[in-house]
Amino acid sequence: MTGDAARRYADWQALTGGIVDDFDPLWMPDLPSGLLRSARASRLGRRLLANRLAEGPAQAAMHIDCARAIDSSPLHGWALWPRRRLREALTDIGGLCLLPGIRVMVARSAVRRLRGALGEERYHWLVNDVETWWGSEPRNGVVRAATLLRRMLERPDSVREQIEMRGVEELAAAVVAAPPALIERLRLQYPPGWLAERPARWLPQSVLELGLEGRGGAQGAAT
């Protein structure tokens, strides 16, 4: 096996291993939670889980032929990350989507709720260290982000999760034309139906890539 082939194989193993570790249990609703934990902890159990996923929601990712395809995608690195690091990056991306709305936020109670959801480090990064993107139609971008942010803050117990899901939708929209294995890696972390079939793209490419750098919070969650 050549060096490139060995690297692609290692990446594919990281991708499939991450899917087995991280898929939401609702993708296998007939499997008791205790049995799922036991299966994930054994080599045979993981193989059985992978085979079952290959027959359904992870058909592309579980086939070794996808290794070359994902290697050719410029945004594939995140698909190899452990769940915690990926979710931190998705929250960064979601925060970046909301940045035009955050810039015009004035109500102290709203700022307090947002800071509590994002954490001080990420909030500081967004407000002080990131240049605001305005898009091709700045006014529309501000209204869209501010409206979504207001709706999120109306559900204070799940603000962080809502921001993460906006990041999920953004990344999914960015890789919609990429190898299907990448979408499978993303979709399977969440219950069936959570990810829209045609998510909207908000961010310029450079801003999306900034979200994947881990400056807001993902660097500290690399493991």
Break the chain into its structural domains and give their ranges. 3-79, 80-221
**Among the listed residues 174, 212, 220, the one whose alpha carbon sits nearest the alpha carbon of residue 91:** 212
Give the pLDDT of residue 166: 94
Instruction: Determine which of 62-66, 67-71, 76-80, 111-115 has the lowest per-residue pLDDT on average.
Output: 67-71
pTM of the model: 0.87
**Among the listed residues 85, 95, 202, the one whose alpha carbon sits nearest the alpha carbon of residue 159:** 95
pLDDT digits (tens, 9 = 90+) for 62-75: 988 877 777 777 66
pLDDT digits (tens, 9 = 90+) for 148-187: 999 999 998 999 999 999 999 999 998 887 888 899 999 9
